[in-house]
Structure 1
Amino acid sequence: MTKAKATKTVEKPDFSSELHQMIKVKLYLRNIPDVDNLCRVYAYVYVNNQKGYLDTGIKVQASDWDPKDRLVKSSHPKCNDFNLILKQSLARVNEIAINYRLSEKQLSFKLLQKAFFADEGSLNFISWCRKDIDKREHEMVAAATMALHHSVLNKFAEFCNGNMPFFEIDERTLATFEKWLRVKKSNSINTVHKNMKVLRLYFNRAIREGLMKQTPFGTFKMKKEKSQPDCLSESELNKAFEIYRSNRLTEERQSVLRVFLFGCCTGLRISDLKRLTWSNVMGKTLVFSMYKTRNTAPIMVKVPLTNTAFRLMRDAGSSRGIIFETPENDSYANKVLKHALSAMNVADKIHFHTARHTFATHYLRKNKGDIVTLKTLMGHSKIEQTMVYLTVDEDWLHEGMANFGEWI
């Protein structure tokens, strides 16, 4: 008796896919030839009771399509390349579905379509951020702001080795990154806080684009220490003016120091100092529109000018147009400023924003805490922004108690 020879069934790969009853996808040739007698191949998708077609970009004649295997026939000269692209299209759909399932987000055909035709990097937070930052730079966001954002993203990319899918980001990711910044990068608590605020901004932008359902910052608490802004003491400010009056600095350092000292006399930000023109001078008052960022509404500010401020303006040498010549790059301007004041040993707190803090602090000390007037001079929209400069001087305590009166 002859034994029946066992036949080995070789299963052909099935390139359709079903993921937990969430999505079905298969390749489909739309048999409507174009002018070149070619028909388009689509990925037919059924997702959560919604269906649609995704163009794979492949076009072949109907006779070159195998309806059983749902692939281009081997007789076609480009069958290997075309079939590879088709398989990658199916894999792309599956990858998107898996990412949504792991992130516990509801996938619709519209979201699938958007993700399918987006760049591969759109599912990776780092890659998406880099593209979004480039987009924001074209939106005229301040250069210093974008430099900070690039720095934060580079840190986050280093932290996760350049790969962080959206669905993997949660509160534990943020907590680990926060610790990494403090331990690995030796960042202060407030620097870490600033970095985390930048990350939160991009998570919110990703949510608006439909790439995330909710922010991982939901219940995450960002730590911040209360600290007084960097400012020069009265003796340090006097020393800075002595260095300026000595005329021993290079022309560039003298020019940068002049702008810094003018900021100490007026409280202007470096962005406003760069824009000042003689047309902003009305008699003995500086009148101009103050911008905190390029996307915020301007605030009209009037700052009375002291004799010292006038002298600094005249020293700048111009009589029309821009008053002060400053380096275009703010970071470079800060480096020049540190060199100009290197003899003072205050490099750790010298930067152009120190001028604004110095003005505010000394104004309050010389005007017994007149916070309301300072708010107007600083162009603050909320009194809380100005309150950070308010500290109680010991002389005010003694003077206040002396004015209280005696009854015995």
Structure 2
Amino acid sequence: MASIKRYISSKVEGNGRSEIMFRLSLSKDIKLRLKTGIYIEPSRFNPKTGAISKPRANQKEISEIKDTERKIRDLEDYIYDLCEAHTLAELTKDFFEKEIYRFHNPKKERKPKEVEAKLQKKFVELVEEFPDKRGLSEWRHRRYGVLSRSLHRFELYRKIKRRLPYKLDFEMFTTEVLEEYEEFLRNEPAIFDKYPKIFEEFPAETRKARKSRRPFEKGDNTIIGIFACLRTFFKWANEEGLTKNSPFARYHGKTTERYGTPIYITIKERDIIADYDLSANKPLEVQRDIFIFHCCIGCRISDLMRLTPANIINGYVEYIASKTKADRSDVIRVPLTQRAKDILEKYKDVEKDGKILPFISSQKYNVAIKKIFKTCGITRIVTVLNPTTGEEEQRPIDEIASSHLARRTFVGNLYKKVKDPNLVGALSGHKEGSRAFARYREIDDDLKKEMIGFIE
């Protein structure tokens, strides 16, 4: 007979709550620790009995705790039912994790009329609505914007070429059409030269210009990113009953993004930039200070530019990563170094539109970073992977410097010292097991020289 014992995680989230955990005993020798996905204030949980205490007067909190208590009981009943319905060999940790996810995210039954109403919409219209329906982050909204505009252009191109059916729908997407779509994306610069009207209504480049910009040549990583969005959309459409077509099941194009070793600056180089006298160029000095602050907290540029004084709490910067908040809403807390605190103090009385620092647009910020590197003499040659050709090339670091280099500098220098991706991930927002950390597992040049010395 299975038994469940409740306990509470020692980890306290940024909202002051901890996750209730289950210790599931299936037999004398088989015991599993399970995350419930249900959180509570630690003071409300009795570790001896597993009971949840209620406040006396706060009716709102009482209601919330009753709801939590009900969810816990329902989840326990659900797990007991699973234990009775399955063999011991089937009751693995992975099995329970999937079932707990289903418990919290039950599939909604949909009426045929609702499905029919969706199918009456144009294929690309459904693609455009998809990010809102899934509550995706602003970053993913932009990626689906790239996808939907390219699908519009692909549809117009098929119409010009009289390829039937030219209208995109779920069923016409065969493996061959996917291959044709990939070829279209790779050849867009040449297609623009021949059929510029295709790009007038649905431009490949959305930055402001008097006329449609000629699209840049797309590399493998860009195309793989577009196809990843389309694959996710088809998976959703299958789950919603909109189609049974799964064109990616037989698609054999490139599916894995390829990146080179992450380029970042050393702490010494960071300090050279931080201490360089830029007083003769005040606007550049401001952006230099923002870049150094960026190196000290390591967030993505989208998160940096939305930080306000409310995100600074007791010497920490606290935020939820916008890119991943739809999947994980963990609060990231990064202690502020003295250098970071000094930068905030320097600009505390400067007009910042409610932000923590006087930001400019991300595009202008990237231009400024390149100029800062060149001015400060940080121009060493680095080997990078050309995102379009996929070939390696040697370039001065100031030419490739950007806002993301600040994040890589934060992660790379921490990882050099700590070597624990989970500890670094707690500060950077990378999820446990992130493939991004594999790229930081490089041996330092100093250590390489030392090793070579062994065979001299």
Distance 1:211 1:202 in 2: 11
Residues 362 and 290 of structure 1: is their aligned pair in 2 closer, same or farther, counting only changes over 3 Å?
Answer: same
- The two structures, once aligned, show a CA RMSD in angstroms of 3.7
Q: TM-score, normalised by structure 2?
A: 0.52
Does the CA contact (< 8 Å) of 2:295 and 2:409 recur in 1? yes
Alignment of 1:156-167 (within 5 A): 156-161=151-156, 163-167=167-171
Residues 249 and 201 of structure 1: is their aligned pair in 2 closer, same or farther, counting only changes over 3 Å?
Answer: farther
Amino acid at match of 1:268: C
Distance 2:357 2:271 in 1: 22
2:164 is the counterpart of 1:169 = no
Residues 215 and 240 of structure 1: is their aligned pair in 2 closer, same or farther, counting only changes over 3 Å?
Answer: farther
- Alignment equivalent of 1:126, drawn from 121, 124, 127: 124
Residues 394 and 198 of structure 1: is their aligned pair in 2 closer, same or farther, counting only changes over 3 Å?
Answer: same
Amino acid at match of 1:392: I
- Alignment equivalent of 1:362, drawn from 413, 420, 423: 413
Residues 237 and 156 of structure 1: is their aligned pair in 2 closer, same or farther, counting only changes over 3 Å?
Answer: farther
Q: TM-score, normalised by structure 1?
A: 0.57
What is the aligned partner in structure 2 of residue 293 from structure 1? 324
- Alignment equivalent of 1:353, drawn from 370, 391, 404: 404
* Cα displacement (A) at 1:149: 1.4
Alignment of 1:60-75 (within 5 A): none
5+ residue gaps in structure 1? Answer: 1-109
2:384 is the counterpart of 1:389 = no
5+ residue gaps in structure 2? Answer: 1-110, 158-166, 190-216, 375-395
What is the aligned partner in structure 1 of residue 427 from structure 2? 377
Give a deviation string over 1:205-235, Cα, whole Å, max 9, x none: 2223322113211132414324233534668
- Alignment equivalent of 1:305, drawn from 324, 328, 336: 336
Distance 2:326 2:285 in 1: 32
What is the aligned partner in structure 2 of residue 211 from structure 1? 242
* Cα displacement (A) at 1:175: 2.0
* Cα displacement (A) at 1:305: 3.0
Secondary structure of the structure 2 residue equivalent to 1:303: strand
* Cα displacement (A) at 1:241: 3.3
Does the CA contact (< 8 Å) of 2:171 and 2:245 recur in 1? no
2:223 is the counterpart of 1:197 = no
Alignment of 1:11-50 (within 5 A): none
What is the aligned partner in structure 2 of residue 246 from structure 1? 278
Residues 370 and 311 of structure 1: is their aligned pair in 2 closer, same or farther, counting only changes over 3 Å?
Answer: same
Answer with 1 or 2: which has the greater Rg: 1
Secondary structure of the structure 2 residue equivalent to 1:193: helix
* Cα displacement (A) at 1:191: 1.2
Give a deviation string over 1:255-283, Cα, whole Å, max 9, x none: 44433321212212234332353663434
- Alignment equivalent of 1:333, drawn from 362, 374, 379: 362
What is the aligned partner in structure 1 of residue 299 from structure 2? 268
The count of corresponding residues between Structure 1 and Structure 2 is 281
Distance 1:303 1:218 in 2: 42
Distance 1:195 1:125 in 2: 16
Secondary structure of the structure 1 residue equivalent to 2:334: strand
Residues 255 and 172 of structure 1: is their aligned pair in 2 closer, same or farther, counting only changes over 3 Å?
Answer: farther
Residues 228 and 117 of structure 1: is their aligned pair in 2 closer, same or farther, counting only changes over 3 Å?
Answer: same
Secondary structure of the structure 2 residue equivalent to 1:225: coil
Secondary structure of the structure 1 residue equivalent to 2:430: coil
Residues 246 and 255 of structure 1: is their aligned pair in 2 closer, same or farther, counting only changes over 3 Å?
Answer: closer
Residues 346 and 371 of structure 1: is their aligned pair in 2 closer, same or farther, counting only changes over 3 Å?
Answer: same
Distance 1:399 1:297 in 2: 42
Distance 1:150 1:382 in 2: 29
What is the aligned partner in structure 2 of residue 45 from structure 1? none
Identity of aligned residues (%): 20
What is the aligned partner in structure 2 of residue 59 from structure 1? none
Does the CA contact (< 8 Å) of 1:361 and 1:389 recur in 2? yes
What is the aligned partner in structure 2 of residue 149 from structure 1? 144
* Cα displacement (A) at 1:301: 3.7
Distance 1:131 1:172 in 2: 26
Distance 1:236 1:175 in 2: 45
What is the aligned partner in structure 2 of residue 227 from structure 1? 260
Amino acid at match of 2:125: S
Distance 1:368 1:127 in 2: 47
Residues 131 and 361 of structure 1: is their aligned pair in 2 closer, same or farther, counting only changes over 3 Å?
Answer: closer
Give a deviation string over 1:341-384, Cα, whole Å, max 9, x none: 3363767634432211121123334x274545423332332143
Alignment of 1:308-323 (within 5 A): 308-318=339-349, 322-323=355-356
* Cα displacement (A) at 1:196: 0.9
Distance 1:399 1:217 in 2: 48
Distance 1:202 1:265 in 2: 37
What is the aligned partner in structure 2 of residue 81 from structure 1? none
* Cα displacement (A) at 1:155: 1.5
Does the CA contact (< 8 Å) of 2:317 and 2:336 recur in 1? yes
Q: 192-201 or 208-217: which moved more?
A: 208-217
Distance 1:342 1:356 in 2: 18
Distance 2:399 2:449 in 1: 33
Query: RCO higher in 1 or 2 (8 Å CA, sep ≥ 6)?
Result: 2
